[in-house]
Amino acid sequence: MTTLDINHGPDGATGRPYHETYKPASHFRSKDEEFDAVKIGMWLFLATEVLLFAGLFVGYAIFRMMHPEAFRNGSHYLDWKWGCLNTIVLLFSSWTIATSIGNAQRNEQKKLRRNLLITVACALLFVGIKLTFEYMPKWSGWFIAFDPALSHYESDTSALGGLLHHVPGYGGKRPGSLFDYPFAENPYEPMWWSIYYCATGIHATHVLIGVGLISWLYIRARKLHFGPGHYTAVEVVGLYWHIVDLIWIFLFPLLYLIH
Amino acid sequence: MNLIPTTLADGFWHWLWFNEKAKSSAGVATIGDELFMYIFWLSVVWFVFLMGLTFYFVVKYRRKPGQKLVRSPAHHTPLEIAWTVVPTLFLVYIFFKGFWGYADALVAPANAELINLKAQKWAWRMTYPNGAESPLSTRFTYTDAQGNQLTSAQDAPIFVVPAGKPVQLRMSSMDVIHSFWVPDFRAKFDIFPNRYTAYWFQADEVGDHPIYCAEYCGDLHSEMYAILRVLPEAEYRSTIDGWAIPWDQGPVPVGKVLYKTKGCAACHTVDGTPNTGPTWSHIWGEEHEFEGGGKAVVDANYIRESILVPAAKIRKGFPNQMVSFQGQLNDRELDALIAYIESLGANPPAPGTGHSETGAETEPAGSN
Amino acid sequence: MTTLHGEIPGAHGHEHHDGSYLERKGGMVSTIIDWATTIDHKKIGVMYLVAVLTMFFIGGVAAMLIRYELFEPVRIQATGDNVGQISGTALANLFGQKDISVAKADNIYNRVMTLHGAVMVFMFIVPGIPASLGNFLLPLMLGAKDVAFPRLNLASWYVYVFGSIFGILAIVMGGVDTGWTFYTPYSSSHADPGHWRVVFMILAAFILGFSSIFTGLNFIVTVHKLRAPGLGWFDLPLFVWAIYSTSIIQVLATPVIGITLLLLVFERLFHVGIFDPALGGDPVLFQHFFWFYSHPVVYVMILPGMGIISETIAVHSRKQIFGYKAIAFSSISIAAISFLVWGHHLFVSEGELVATIFSALTFLVAIPTAVKVFNWIGTLYKGSIQINTPMLYTLFFLFTFSIGGLTGLPLGALATDLHLHDSYFVVAHFHYVMMGGTVIAFLAGIHHWWPKIFGRMYNERWAMIACVLVFIGFNTTFFTQFFLGTRGMPRRYASYPDQYQLLHQISSIGAAILLIGFLLHLAVFIGSLFAGKKAPANPWGGLTFEWEADSPPTTHNFHHEPLATHGPYAFDDVVPPHCDPKDYPIADPLPAGSKRH
Amino acid sequence: MSHDPHTHGTAAVALDPTDPHGATHHEHVIIPRSTLMNVLLVLLFFTLLTVGLSRAEVWAAGFFGIEIPQWVNVAVAMSIAIVKGLLVLLFFMQLKYDNKLNAIIFANCIFAVGLFLFFSMTDLGFRGVVYEWKKGEISLGGTGGVSRGAGDHKETISGNVTHFAREKYLALWGPEKFEHIRASVKHDHPHGADANTANLSRAITGQTGALSATAPTHSAGGHAPSADGHAAPAGDHPPEAPASHDAPKDAPPTGGH
């Protein structure tokens, strides 16, 4: 995000907030031109993001076409409830950040900060659910004690004072050569897990980057950097966050719902 | 159908590009050569025209001091349309002709002799319809300026194929991607470890043709030669019958044949010299140390495991380059190979076997 | 001719009266800090120029080593004094590796060959023209003060250097023998198993991709938003059109190599199996992923070269470019078609159906390319042609690029490609396009804009001698390789049968001539920097905006924001800025009532 | 954020200095809160709809044995995802109100994705155009073992990794415990993974079976077919006989077919 706010105006020099005194970089003719330019730049960047994920979608489509039964089995191993919950979480966070742009435009500083905070919380919730309820049991067989799914299985050991429980034979659903699950029904199942972990892992990395960016927005919003006169950063980070959501809108049915 | 006069497509010009005529009568070779010479002359005409024009303009309109500029049109629509459409027509023709030859290369005639081809780092293996594999190999020899004899670095296997009959190869690889190219037949196709690809040709004349690997495959990529020997069909039949595996003679002769035909000889010697892999001479009963610790005595189980799961125990000093032969060798063949290794002598060598004259073993004899 | 460009009062309240961008700011340390933290596109352009030429040098050394090795094939003595000894392993001997196996000797060649490919492609030729000349010239040609995102621009340079360091690290750690294409499963499971250097080389290419994306993104926005007043789309210099098309490809294709290389790193580290057939993956899928980027990127390499030629040929023959719109649109259509033809790199590995489709589409790309060549030659007609180094290189380009293009025909036709694929014919073809096209255009461009960039003239006579040496050396090196290919020499071979030796030796001798030519150029450039005549603002009589700026330009490029009042190539009607009408006589005025083209 | 279009007396051309190329920027739009809220509600509705349809299909298959073809499933789920995506693009990302250029950029990018997908799938999906057997895959595990782990946990995998894992745990637990754990993990699986295991697998056509059917079967040595040459289409039946599954399926015709 090095491109934003080339010219840090005299912050508070006149006692007025940054967004009111904001001046565009000297090579732009106006604030609007800068805003437009940054937005075009961001859309170009979003195009690269989409094409980055395109590789994973193409990999998914091709291996699904070649080994439908492995993907069908693999899809059954995922719990649609967690996927659905995460979808709702992300959609909601998309809404909060879209609203926060309106807050900045209307100079509603308190709501702006609140919406940004909610967005960060949703992002962390998303990653938390992914790690604790989806990745961890599937990868290692260790469940967290309050995982509802744990009641279905017989655990043999526990750790961390009963916080973690191990279910033998559940874990080992890992990609490629790391695969260690004894009950696979199709020799291509490790391929499903490769696609699953690569796609959701890279997506989750994007979510974490989003956490960093939105936290940065929050810090700046506290300093009254955004308002009707200047909200470029909120706008472009918002775009980034929506594309993360958009990718998930497609990953969710592909991974969890198609049998 | 001749695209261009024979004098331009043959003789000197053909020699200049290809040295020799295509030795396959399959469509890809005949159409390919014809099309290549056509494109060549087309290119020559265009190139000479364009460069001539350029040269003429540069000389004629060179800058003279103080001379005023002369106006000329900055574009000319009919001309521009013409020089867009005319090349397009040529291109359409070239595409169709190229597709024609390609389509021919894809579909072998129904009466084709079917031969299996396997590629591995860095050797070729052909399995004939009767299960035989070629035990023949040679090295290319050269003479340098001082009159010394030089040879190519690796043994090149010699494969035989019948003359005057289409031959189809079903190709697969055991490790990485290779590519089967016989320049004399003007075609190549890649060879993959996870699927079969096909190649066909029909060589009408008796003769030898070099085979190259055209897809980069590692260290000895450039030494991955083989020779395709075209024989009269009757001779071809009797040759491959003669190569059939001698199952009735017991395991050791079978093992000796397999050693040559399954690609073992590419990396393992039987005379005591270490190669890419350890020698087989006098290792029976020897104790081997492994990379990353551990040791074991060479016995039937150890050899079996090393053939099927080469990565399991890697002998010190021989980084693993071997592929798994799981599925490539059945139990009888494995037993035959084990028996053959045992027949090459125990360690320490029994007096008078005469196998260890080079003494190039990595471990001193009698270390255990 | 200040009367020809107006200024808009009030658009920018203050006037810049600053000095040349090359002016030193204080002592050595502060100058270095000034350069290292600069967001001036000109300095970044020069920094890129130095960086890519350094990489060109490293890649060039590798090329020389390749030709050195191939002077003699690898053989084993069967008779004579040294039975069993290996001969023809020039590289192994050079690196002090005596008495080694053929496999080891070949391995050294394979590493040098990979080094040459990877460095030349990822670190030299892809960033080459756009990031150096493009960065310097694009804002100048648009009449802008800078690119849209100057800090991103600097970041892109640092990312480039960071990525290159990864690549160099891989080389220092022992080199990589995968070939620059990293084909699986060789790269994922067989090349140097367990070693990090392969991962480093892959990461280098991955990181360099970001640099490429940043540059491309920046340029697109710059062209859209920062054109000077009056500068419409069809008043843009053709170099800008070319860079713009290039940037579209960079933005749309590079992310795909990003994910490909990322998956390849996962493949190497964890064996995820997407591309590894041992685990159920598909190696041809990797090739599709790889070439979806790497084919369009061929046009990232050549389009800016075409842009340079469009500039040099117009300026040095003082002629309105013939068919401006045809050239501009052909740039865009080449960019578009480039996404449709990647499969021709897979004719011998992909399915029959797509091979046919891709072959047909491949011929499409020949059409706009041919149109460009015709237009350039048409531009020479009735021109006022001056022969100097940039023009000599331009003619050189027309010669070699035409050969490069025409030899693409048998490679695009399926029947002939089955023979020529992966042979030296391909090697020769793409060197004619990449080197005979891009590098030669790059040299034309460097000479053309050298006075503008550094404010000094170079020695014309010696530069032209060097150009002739490069021409002879280049054609000797690579024309022979066409015959090697058709006669059956596969590429990436460390050794070869005897029948190819003569041609290989001619090629190696050509490479030596080429080297002398390049070294002479280097000497001319260094001489110019230290003892060159001061350059006038407009030494060639160009009409585009960069010639209105000083040589070298001031920190803020222009003294006033320029205003476009004439086309970029209106030589017939406009006396070039800073030029004397006596030296640059324009054409007689058109009779009243007649319409300009 | 509008500008006063003012003309300049001195310049020959009337140019807005802040926007010399005319109207490339737009009014900044403030999207009404109600619009955003409605869009969110519609998105949530579609999420529940696509999940509901998917559940309904599983239920229908399990309860009534109705097998809906997979393409219907894919088409429905993808159509809903596309609608959701469009809503996000148009309203949350403001493409509806924005500079058209941004929409063009995004459309081009989607087009590039389409090309990528189309050509790659056309290749890998149409390998058997000329010969059916070209389509088949030779077994996994053909390239000779991958190692994983380090030290005492180092394992070298030979053959298919799924069979390797099965063998490993069979040896570790013994057959009885293996079956017990299998029942506990799979039977109570919340998604009923075994609903119709019989139909899960599909023989991959064009493997060695097809090959040997067309290849001449003359065998000079006349030795009996051996166990490891048995061509087992992957997953055709549960792997009770692991040996047959470990076998790569590309033994040359001589291998006793």
pLDDT of residue D69: 81
C144 touches chain A (CB under 8 A): yes
Q: How many CB atoms lie within 10 A of CB B216?
A: 25
Cα–Cα dist C10/C16, whole Å: 14
Give the model confidence (pLDDT) of A89-139 as tens digits.
999 999 999 999 999 999 999 999 999 999 999 999 999 999 999 999 999
Q: Is pLDDT at B130 greater than 70 in this prediction?
A: yes
Kindly determine whether residue C8 and residue D109, on different chains, have CB atoms separated by under 8 Å: no
Going B48 to B50 to B52 to B58, the CA torsion angle's sign is negative
pLDDT higher at B234 or B347? B234
Say whether residue C263 is in contact with chain A using an 8 A CB cutoff. yes
Contact call for B127 and D254, based on CB within 8 A: yes
Is the pLDDT score of D213 beyond 50?
no
Every domain of chain B and the residues it spans? 6-61+73-106, 113-242, 247-343
Q: Is the pLDDT of residue C4 over 50?
A: no
- Flag whether residue C21 sits within 8 Å of chain D, measured between CB atoms: no
Of the listed ranges A84-93, A198-207, B326-335, D27-36, the one predicted with least confidence? B326-335
Does the structure show a pLDDT above 70 at D250? Answer: no
Gap between the Cα atoms of D208 and B170, Å rounded:
12
Per CB-CB distance under 8 Å, the chain A contacts of C266 are 175, 194, 198
Q: Looking at the domain B247-343, which fold is it? A: Cytochrome Bc1 Complex; Chain D, domain 2 (1.10.760)
Instruction: Note the pLDDT tens digit of each residue in C526-581.
Output: 999 999 999 999 999 999 999 999 989 999 899 888 888 888 999 998 999 999 88
Whether CATH 2.60.40.420 fits B113-242: yes
Q: Which CATH architecture has domain C20-547?
A: Up-down Bundle (1.20)
Whether pTM exceeds 0.95: no
Residue D240's pLDDT band (boundaries 50, 70, 90)?
very low
Q: Please determine, for residue B139, whether its predicted confidence score (pLDDT) is greater than 50.
A: yes
Residue B366 is predicted with a pLDDT of: 33
pLDDT value of position C53: 95
Could you give the angle at which helices C135-142 and C41-69 cross, rounded to 10 degrees? Answer: 140
CA atoms within 13 A on the CB side of B88: 11
Least confident of A34-48, B7-21, C407-421, C512-526: B7-21
Torsion of CA A171, A177, A178, A180, to 10 degrees: 30
Alpha helices of chain B — where are they, by DSSP H? 6-9, 11-18, 27-60, 77-106, 233-242, 251-261, 300-308, 331-343
Q: Do C148 and A41 touch (CB under 8 A)?
A: yes
Q: Which of C322, C348, C360 sits opposite B189 (nearest CB)?
A: C348
- Rounded CA separation C474/B73 (Å): 35
CATH no. for A38-137+168-257: 1.20.120.80
**Which residue is listed with tokens 């590995």?**
C349
Among candidates D10, D20, D124 on the partner chain, residue whose Cβ is nearest the Cβ of C282 = D124
Inform me whether the C-beta atom of residue D58 falls under 8 Å from chain A C-beta atoms: yes
Chains with 3 or more CB pairs under 8 A to chain A: C, D
Q: Which pLDDT belongs to residue B184?
A: 95
Q: Say what the ipTM of the complex is.
A: 0.87
Q: Which residue of A has its CA nearest to C273?
A: A176
The pLDDT confidence band at residue D145, using thresholds 50, 70 and 90, is low
Q: Which residues of B touch D144 (CB under 8 A)?
A: 174-175, 309-311, 322-324, 326
Average pLDDT over residues C70-78: 89
Residues A23 and A7 sit within 8 Å (Cβ to Cβ): yes
Helix (H) or strand (E) holding B297: strand B295-297
| B116 pLDDT higher than 90 | yes
Tokens of C553: 């330009």
Higher pLDDT, A161 or C11: A161
Report the pLDDT value the prediction gives residue D19, as an integer from 0 to 100.
Answer: 57
More confident residue, C262 or D211: C262
Tell me the average pLDDT of chain C.
91
Could you state, in order of their start, the residue ranges of all structural domains in chain C? 20-547
- Per-residue H/E/C for C342-398: HHHHHCCCCCHHHHHHHHHHHHHHHHHHHHHHHHHHHHHCCCCECCCHHHHHHHHHH
Q: Tell me the H-state helices in B115-273.
A: 233-242, 251-261
| Helix or strand run (H / E) with residue B149 | strand B149-151
The confidence score (pLDDT) of residue B333 equals 85
pLDDT at B347: 65
Q: Which residue has the tokens 């994920």?
A: A53
Inform me whether the pLDDT recorded for C127 exceeds 50: yes
| Predicted confidence (pLDDT) at residue B1 exceeds the cutoff of 90 | no
Residue B310 structure tokens? 């080469």
Touch test A–B: 3 Cβ pairs or more under 8 Å: no
Give C246's pLDDT tier (boundaries 50, 70, 90). very high
pLDDT reported for residue A9? 46
Mean of the pLDDT values across residues D50-58? 88
Nearest-by-Cβ selection for D20 from C230, C253, C358: C230
Q: For residue C106, give the nearest of C122, C124, C86, C82 by alpha carbon.
A: C86
Residue C486 has pLDDT above 90, yes or no: yes
With 60 as the cut, is the pLDDT of residue A46 above it? yes
Asked which of B67-71, C536-540, D26-30 is least confident by mean pLDDT, the reply is: D26-30
pLDDT in tens, C258-292: 999 999 999 988 888 899 888 888 999 999 999 99
Whether there are 3 or more C-beta pairs closer than 8 Å between A and C is yes
Is omega for the bond preceding B348 within 30 degrees of 0, making it cis? yes
Which residues are registered as beta bridge partners of B236? none
Is A179's CB within 8 Å of D161's CB? yes
Give the C:D interface size as CB pairs under 8 Å: 101
Q: Is C249 on the interface with A (CB under 8 A)?
A: no
Report the pLDDT averaged over residues C4-10. 41
Which residue from D minimizes the CA distance to A60? D117
pLDDT at position D223 is 36
Q: Name the residue among D85, D182, D190 with its Cβ closest to that of A169.
A: D182
At B78-105, the pLDDT tens digits run 998 998 999 999 999 999 999 999 999 9
Lowest-pLDDT range of B112-126, B240-254, D139-153:
D139-153
The pLDDT value recorded for residue D235 is 34
Indicate whether D6 pLDDT > 60: no
What's the pLDDT at D211? 29
Neighbouring chains to B with at least 3 Cβ pairs closer than 8 Å: C, D
Whether C4 contacts chain D with CB within 8 A: no
For residue D21, what pLDDT is reported? 61
A137-150: pLDDT as tens digits: 999 999 998 888 88
| Pick from B301-305, D2-6, D97-101: least confident | D2-6
Of chain A, the percentage scoring pLDDT greater than 90 comes to: 66
pLDDT at position C23, please?
Answer: 86
Which residue do the tokens 């040349």 mark? C20
* pLDDT for residue B344: 84
Report chain B's mean pLDDT, rounded to a whole number.
85
Of C330, C352, C508, residue with least CA distance to C418:
C352
Average pLDDT over residues D46-52: 94
At B222 the pLDDT is: 92
Chains D and A are touching, with contact defined as 3 or more CB–CB pairs separated by less than 8 Å? yes
- Residue A194 at interface with chain C, using a CB cutoff of 8 Å: yes
Burial of D201 (0-12, 13-18, 19+ CB in 10 A): buried
Residues 236-255 of D with CB under 8 A from A: 238, 245
Residues of D in contact with A98 (CB under 8 A): 31, 36, 91-92
Residue A10 has a pLDDT of 46
pLDDT at D121 over 60: yes
Taking the CA of residue C81 and the nearest CA in chain A, the distance in Å comes to 51
The residue ranges of every structural domain in chain A are: 38-137+168-257
Please answer yes or no on whether D226 and B311 come within 8 Å at the CB atom. no
